[in-house]
């Protein structure tokens, strides 16, 4: 039976990037974002990890801890964490037991070729170990918004800058004077 919202989250004991065993029971009394992704250091997986990294403090303020899961090795996870400066742990599910428990090891198809791989799915697990949400259509660049169900979340979005009218006039005046100088030089060369 596939996991659904309201299901008890399957327990696990799996190593993180440092070889330390991580269990679901370690997060009792906390909310957990358990996100499954295909592969370290690929464009989509990097975008997803970086969105979660950039919004990690916001997620923590909302009471969430984050764990990423792929079939990559501890060593590769460690490189990915160091390269992207990820503040959360990545679980090395090399034997796919966690994928099987959560139903994320699935048949995929690319260019007509079928193969087995990781479904990009995120499980939001509440303080009692119950799945309170499942994000199946992950927007890798805006995943935090999907988790928090807030379309306005974006740590990367720069603050809007306001420019005074005087600055706009000065820039325009400078651009006009440069154009005038170029036009005069061009006219002089033609003579």
Query: Residue 93 has which token pair?
Result: 């599910």
**CA angle, residues 43, 46, 50, in degrees to nearest 5:** 140
Q: Residue 147 — φ and ψ, nearest 5°?
A: -65, -45
- Give CA angle at 16 (136, 54), nearest 5°: 55
Active site annotation includes 50: no
Catalytic residue among 22, 33, 45, 69: 45
Q: Give the residue numbers annotated as catalytic, written as ranges.
A: 45
């Amino acid at each position: 039976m596939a996991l659904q919202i309201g299901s008890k989250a399957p327990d696990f004991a799996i190593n993180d990037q440092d070889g330390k065993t991580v269990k679901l029971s370690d997060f009792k009394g906390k909310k957990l974002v358990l996100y499954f992704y295909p592969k370290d250091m690929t464009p989509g997986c990097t975008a997803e990890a970086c969105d979660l990294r950039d919004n990690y403090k916001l997620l923590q303020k909302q009471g969430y801890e984050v764990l990423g899961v792929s079939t990559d090795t501890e060593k590769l996870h460690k490189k990915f964490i160091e390269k992207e400066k990820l503040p959360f742990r990545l679980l090395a599910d090399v034997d796919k037991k966690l994928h099987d428990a959560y139903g994320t090891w699935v048949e995929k198809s690319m260019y007509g070729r079928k193969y087995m791989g990781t479904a990009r799915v995120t499980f939001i697990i509440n303080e009692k170990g119950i799945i309170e949400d499942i994000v199946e259509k992950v927007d890798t660049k805006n995943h935090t918004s999907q988790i928090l169900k807030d379309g306005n979340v974006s740590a990367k979005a720069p603050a809007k800058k306001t420019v005074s009218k005087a600055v706009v006039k000065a820039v325009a005046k400078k651009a006009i004077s440069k154009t005038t100088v170029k036009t005069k030089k061009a006219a002089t060369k033609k003579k």
